[in-house]
Each structure stands twice: as C-alpha cells, then as structure tokens.
Amino acid sequence: MRRGRVAAPHGQGVRVVTAAIVADGVRKRYGDIQAVDGVSLHIETGEFHGILGPNGAGKTTTLEILEGVREPDEGRIELFGESPWPRNPKLLRRIGVQFQASSFFDKLTTRETIYLFASFYRVGSRQADAMLDRVGLTEFGGVPADKLSGGQAQRLSIACGLVHDPEIVFLDEPTAGLDPQARRNLWDLLRDVNEEGRTLVLTTHYLDEAELLCDRVSVMEKGKVLKTGAPAALIRELDDMVRVSVESGRIEPDTLRGLLGSAGVENALVEDDGITLSIATHSPGPVLSVLADRRALRGLEVRGATLEDVFLQLTGREYRA
C-alpha cells in the first residue's frame, strides 16, 4: 500500500497517523558482541517497514526485541503505546509473528498445525480454514507440514501468524531460501496483507525485496541503523549515482582508478569481484569513454542506483548478504 506516507514527516496539513511501533535507543549485548547498538525506530500504523542489512547486522535481535521475546539492555519500546516486555498478553493478541518454516510440531498436518496456532488465540476452526484457503493451502490441508515445499511452508507459517487477525505482523526473513517463483507469490501475499491496513515489519537481506515491498526501510549494519527512509528517497539522495559494470580482467581496478582520476572523474567507487568490474559514479560519460579507450567494454551494463548503492555509500563497502 504505497500511500505517499513518505512525504509525511514535514508534510502538509492533517496527519492522524498514530505510531504502531516506537523504539528509542535500544541496545542489546551478548557477551562481547553488541548485537543491537542504539536502535531507534518509528513505524507508523499501516506501514510496511523493512529492516535491511547483511547477516549478523542485528536485524533478528532487533525484531525479537520489538516483538517482546527478548529484554533490551537499554532503551524503550512501545507497541501501540505499551511495552512488549515483560510478556504482555494484551499486546499478544494484536501482534502476529511469522517464524522460520521449521517451527512446526513434528508429524502434524497443515490443517492441524494452523488449528493448533488458532487455538492459542481462541480462534474458531472456520476462521483457521479461511486463512488456510487464503494462503492457497486448502488442498494441502491433509499433508504433513514437514512435507510441504519451502514456499508452502512459509505460507503456512505466515498463515499461522495471521490467523488471529493481528494489527502488527513481524516477519523474519520470510523469503530466505525460496525459489524466485515462490518469492514472488509470497510478495503478493504480503502486499495484500499490508493493504488490509496491517502494519508489517520484515527483516531481509535481499535488497530487491526491500525496495519492492517496503514503504520505508531501515538500513542496519553492526547493530546500528545507518539510515531510515523510503527506498526511492534513499536512492534519490544518492544524487543519481549510476553503476557501470563490465567484464573483469580487461583492466586492473587500480589502473582504472588512476585513469579516472586523470580524466577528472571524482568520487568513483571501483570494485572488482573477479567476474564483474563495477564503477559507481555521478559522471558515467567520462567513465565509459575511459573504458572504451582501453577496449574494456565487454559485457557492459549501465543502470541507475539501487538500494545496493545506498548500502555501498553508507558503509563504504559492497553489499554482501
């Protein structure tokens, strides 16, 4: 539900939006590792928010603290103005959680699994059946849940999190390990769920997923939120950086840097992963002509910036999930 919420902060006129989730200065340390290091978030009702970052950035711990599974060492969290920690039964009915697809009871069928989760919320069987139907699993109702495909299992997991009709839904890497078709199906489902007015918070290490689905993303690294904003706005802030990539091996990155310097190209980020040589730059023209001079244009691709470039710019290093 792209509702132009992005422009709201300094926006015009009336804003009746209430915050669904507020986190302020949240820290969590495990031994020597500062897993979450001063995270502050403001997620509004109905927003589709992505917490984005490479593995080990502290996304899951942040999510678990927001859900109320873990106690933060420091900081304040409020969901609808109430603290989720310690376990707050009043909030539990209003939030839904999607867990990894392996979090099912052994030996239960798909229908038995959703009935079980429905029972935790005193939801009737009809509503549970309707949810199963909604995620397209009615015909798999009698199949053992551990025999479902990856995509089906994820959809079951989401159905179990949605069965009691929650207002906030937390999703931890919902599309990890899925094939492209299953990912796209899941994206459609999540978009629908968001369009019903539910607030969605999703962690992901897929930049394309965050860019495609989320109203706003928080880019995390090393326990910190580096930046929060609408994907398009974040990309725009990059000032139209363009990414030029060619086949590796035609020209050494260092040589290229030297040549670009003498051609007057500043702030070009040159990276070579052995397959692709890529240059992020504001002035693609001179870059292309330098490459052309060196006959290094094989496999040429030029594209506009993506969240990947945002990450690159924020951290000074290539995004590696």
Partner 1 sequence: MSIDETSARPSGTAGTAAADAEKPAGGAGPGRGGPAKDRRLNPVRELARAMILSVLRDKGTIFFLMVFPILFLMLFGTLFKSGGTTHIKVAQVGEVKVLDSLTAAHREQLSKAATITKVTSGPAALEKVRAGDYDALVEQVGDTVVLRYSLSDPVKGASARATLNAVLEQANLAATGKPAKYTLKASQVEDESVKPIQYLTPGLLGFAIATSSVFSTALTLVTLRRKKILQRMQLSPVRPWEVVAARISMTMLMVLTQTALFLVVATLPYFGLQLTGNWWLVVPLVVCGTLALMSLGLLIGSLSKTEESAGGLAQLLVLPMSLLSGSFFSLDGAPEWVRAVSYVMPLHYLVEGGESVLSRGGGLLDVLPTMGGMLAFAAVVTALTLRFFKWNEG
Site residues, partner 1 (CB under 8 A): 3-5, 8, 14-17, 30, 45-46, 67-70, 87, 89, 92-93, 95, 97, 99-100, 102-108, 112, 115-130, 133-134, 138, 164-165, 167, 192, 196-198
Q: What whole-number distance in Å separates Cα of residue 119 and Cα of residue 14?
A: 41
Residue 117 CA, distance from chain mean position: 25
When the beta carbons of 189 and 219 are compared against partner 1, the nearer one is 189
When the beta carbons of 99 and 187 are compared against partner 1, the nearer one is 99
Least Cβ distance, residue 236 to partner 1 (angstroms) = 20
Going from the C-alpha of 188 to that of each of 150, 180, 185, 209, 294, the distances in angstroms are: 16, 13, 5, 12, 45
When the beta carbons of 128 and 182 are compared against partner 1, the nearer one is 128
Least Cβ distance, residue 172 to partner 1 (angstroms) = 10
* Paired strand residues for 29: 34
When the beta carbons of 49 and 198 are compared against partner 1, the nearer one is 198
Total Cβ atoms within 10 A of residue 103? 12
Whether the bond between 86 and the residue before it is cis, its omega within 30 degrees of 0, is: yes
Residues sharing a CB contact under 8 Å with residue 255, sequence separation 6 or more, in sequence order: none
Least Cβ distance, residue 121 to partner 1 (angstroms) = 6
Q: What whole-number distance in Å separates Cα of residue 156 and Cα of residue 108?
A: 12
Q: What whole-number distance in Å separates Cα of residue 174 and Cα of residue 159?
A: 12
Q: What whole-number distance in Å separates Cα of residue 321 and Cα of residue 76?
A: 29
When the beta carbons of 38 and 144 are compared against partner 1, the nearer one is 144
Q: What whole-number distance in Å separates Cα of residue 128 and Cα of residue 156?
A: 11
Helix, strand, coil: what percent of the chain each, to 5?
A: 35, 25, 35
Least Cβ distance, residue 130 to partner 1 (angstroms) = 5
Least Cβ distance, residue 126 to partner 1 (angstroms) = 4
Q: What whole-number distance in Å separates Cα of residue 184 and Cα of residue 275?
A: 28
Least Cβ distance, residue 153 to partner 1 (angstroms) = 13
When the beta carbons of 121 and 250 are compared against partner 1, the nearer one is 121
When the beta carbons of 91 and 268 are compared against partner 1, the nearer one is 91
Q: Position 211: which residue type?
A: E
Least Cβ distance, residue 271 to partner 1 (angstroms) = 35
CB 201 within 8 A of CB 15: no
When the beta carbons of 59 and 243 are compared against partner 1, the nearer one is 59
Least Cβ distance, residue 34 to partner 1 (angstroms) = 15
